[in-house]
Amino acid sequence: MATIFENMGAKTELGSGLAAGVETLSYNQEVVFTLYVKVVMPIDGYVFWVNGALLTDTAIYNATQYSKLLYDRYENPNDTIPPRQFSAKGSLHYATELHQLEERTTSYNHMSFTALEEIQPFNAINPTLIYVATREDVQFAFSRRENFYKQADLYHYRGDALYSIMDTQLVDSMDQLNLAQPIVSNSLPIWLSLNQFFPMYPSYLVASNIAPPFCAVDIDPARTVALQDFPLLDPYSNPNQLVTDTVKLSIFGQNNHQALNFVQYILDYSRNTDNIGMMNMPVMQDEKVTQKEFGIIAQKKIITFQVSYYQSTVNDITRKLIEHAFITVTPSRNP
């Protein structure tokens, strides 16, 4: 397994002393980092991270947004494949908090890693790739780098260990993935399929740092309510109910005319397909999101729909999304 510090450059006098102190305190500790690749469910936008050891070089290469640019820069395309695993020297500290909540009792481990050199693979990857660190069977990732002082030449990375309830989202065996069934129990697959104007994302799972236009779909779980007394069962004993959802759409990068066209698109979809029924008269609203450095506000609009639908309709649309997600693979010499 490679280490990223084999060719450590010369440090300042202060940096050399601090590095020696870190090595003494940590007993030359090393932390192992493993590459994981993002997989987004085509049905409902749920995110999983798959261990890079389970994927081919081609799959990892294609997951890199800048792969074509990198391919032009290197004679050997394999040079564009980030390492599946590497180790880094430094000092690891952590603090543990025990939380007793209504539905679970869990420990939050806050990790702090002081590295002797900048961890270059963190800079080379993109939002579809992540490195997960492992130490004594604890998995963690870093969400920020902070307190950097050039003369000290030490790099501080901080993040949390994987929460116990998130264990299902890191995939170390393909048996953990079932791409044929939705995870959500609401109308989200219907809304994700309405993407003719711009990409639609589930709330809290919007792709990192994307430019408008795009839309985030938020469905209030407390307001998903049955509209019939008892579910019907199909011949396979699958329940089917008429239910209602309250759906808030947050749209970025659209002017008034474009936003109204999108609303008409949703209303036409409801009228022409009967997949969703309108229970309110939605109105587009402007919401202020500011950035003080530039003295500007974002082109953000929100609109809330109260809709009714049959659960069986969501299942039918889910099957269509799965069919659209199928691809044809043509072997090629290029990665």
DSSP string, 65-113: TTHHHHHHH-SSGGGGSPPSEEEEEEEEEEEEEEEE-SS-EEEEEEEEE
**If you average pLDDT over residues 95-119, what whole number do you get?**
83
Q: Which range (21-35, 48-62, 269-283) has the least confidence?
A: 21-35
pLDDT of residue 282: 92
- According to the per-residue pLDDT averaged within each range, which of 87-91, 116-120, 145-149, 204-208 is highest? 204-208
**If you average pLDDT over residues 292-314, what whole number do you get?**
92
The answer to whether 264 touches 223, Cβ cutoff 8 Å, is no
Q: Which range (10-14, 140-144, 174-178, 252-256) has the least confidence?
A: 10-14
How do the domains of the chain map onto residue ranges? Answer: 2-176, 188-325
Q: Which of 68, 60, 69, 70 is nearest to 39 (CA)?
A: 60
Q: Over the chain, what is the mean pLDDT? A: 79
Q: Which of 207, 139, 215 is nearest to 172 (CA)?
A: 139
The answer to whether 278 touches 246, Cβ cutoff 8 Å, is no
Phi and psi at 9, nearest 5°, equal: -80, 170
The answer to whether 142 touches 157, Cβ cutoff 8 Å, is yes
pLDDT of residue 323: 42
Q: Which residues have C-beta within 8 Å of that of residue 120, sequence separation ≥ 6?
A: 4
pLDDT of residue 330: 42
**If you average pLDDT over residues 204-209, what whole number do you get?**
88
pLDDT tens-digit series, residues 67-85: 444 444 444 445 567 888 8
Q: Which range (52-61, 220-229, 290-299) has the least confidence?
A: 52-61
What percent of the chain lies above the pLDDT cut of 90?
35
Q: To the nearest 10°, the Cα dihedral for 124, 127, 129, 131?
A: 80
pLDDT tens-digit series, residues 170-193: 999 888 887 777 888 899 999 999
Measure the CA–CA gap between 253 and 251, rounded to whole angstroms: 7
- Is residue 324 very low, low, confident or very high in pLDDT (cuts 50, 70, 90)? very low
Q: Look at 116 and 106; give whichever has higher pLDDT.
A: 106
Measure the CA–CA gap between 275 and 316, rounded to whole angstroms: 10
pLDDT of residue 31: 82
**If you average pLDDT over residues 149-163, what whole number do you get?**
73
pLDDT of residue 302: 97
Q: Which residues have C-beta within 8 Å of that of residue 108, sequence separation ≥ 6?
A: 96, 97, 98, 99, 160, 161, 163
- Is residue 51 very low, low, confident or very high in pLDDT (cuts 50, 70, 90)? very high
pLDDT reading at 90 higher than 90: no
pTM for the model: 0.75
